[in-house]
Structure 1
Amino acid sequence: MSLPLPAPVSTYFEISNGSDIAQVTRCFTDDALVVDEGQAYRGHAAIQSWQRDAQKKFAYSVEPVGLSRNGDRLTVTASVVGSFPGSPVQLYHVFDLAGDRIRSLEIG
């Protein structure tokens, strides 16, 4: 399913699916915050490290399957399939956008 995602969110999902992690600088603000599995990652270097670690730990793919929007807040429902316990799972990615960048992302 192809969803009409804003450019920074689309880029984020491309990175999640194995695209160049350096693209983080194109889609997140300099001081962006990501919260995943109870851990917080702030800034480009921390977010890149988090993505690298996740991709090393498990093989997975993420497919956005639904979305809702409330102002600058976008919630994307995604199907995540991979080599991790409990696969597949459905996760909610809550993005707070600042213009053409992601200011924060909470995954749950």
Structure 2
Amino acid sequence: MNLQLPEAVNTYFAISNGDDPARLATCFHADATVIDEKRTHQGIEAIVAWQREARQAFSYRVDPVDASQRGERLSVTARVVGDFPGSPVLLKHLFALTDDQIRSLEIAP
């Protein structure tokens, strides 16, 4: 499915699928927050470390399958397939966007 997503969100998914994690600074605000698996990652350094840690732990692919927007909030459902327990899984990515960058991201089943 070809979804029309904001550039910052497209960049985030490209990085999630193996692109250079250093590019996270181009799509996230400097003080952005990511909540994933009940852990909070605050700021670019922590978000880059989180992304690298996930890539080292598992091989996976994230494919957005549905999206809806309400104001500055964008909800994207993505199919995640990889070598982790429970694969494949559908995960909801709730983005808060400000000034064409991601201010926050919460990932949940």
Shorter-chain-normalised TM-score: which range? over 0.9
Would you identify which runs of 4 or more consecutive aligned residues in structure 1 move more than 6 Å?
none
- What is the TM-score normalised by the length of structure 2? 0.98
- Per the TM alignment, residue 2 of structure 1 is displaced from its structure 2 partner at its CA by 1.3
- Per the TM alignment, residue 99 of structure 1 is displaced from its structure 2 partner at its CA by 1.5
Q: How far apart, CA to CA, are the structure 1 residues paired with 2:44 and 2:4?
A: 25
Q: Which amino acid aligns with 1:51?
A: Q
Q: How far apart, CA to CA, are the structure 2 residues paired with 1:62 and 1:68?
A: 17
Task: Give % identity.
Answer: 56
Q: Map of 1:47-66 to 2, 5 A cutoff?
A: 47-66=47-66
Q: Which amino acid aligns with 2:7?
A: A
- Per the TM alignment, residue 34 of structure 1 is displaced from its structure 2 partner at its CA by 0.1
Alignment: residue pair count = 108
Is 1:75 paired with 2:96? no
- Per the TM alignment, residue 32 of structure 1 is displaced from its structure 2 partner at its CA by 0.0
Q: Map of 1:1-108 to 2, 5 A cutoff?
A: 1-108=1-108
What is the RMSD of the two structures over their aligned residues, measured on CA atoms? 0.4
Q: How far apart, CA to CA, are the structure 2 residues paired with 1:99 and 1:2?
A: 24
Q: Which amino acid aligns with 1:82?
A: G
Q: Which amino acid aligns with 1:75?
A: S
- Per the TM alignment, residue 13 of structure 1 is displaced from its structure 2 partner at its CA by 0.1
- Per the TM alignment, residue 40 of structure 1 is displaced from its structure 2 partner at its CA by 0.2
Per-residue Cα deviation, 1:31-50 (whole angstroms, up to 9, x for no partner): 00000000000110000000
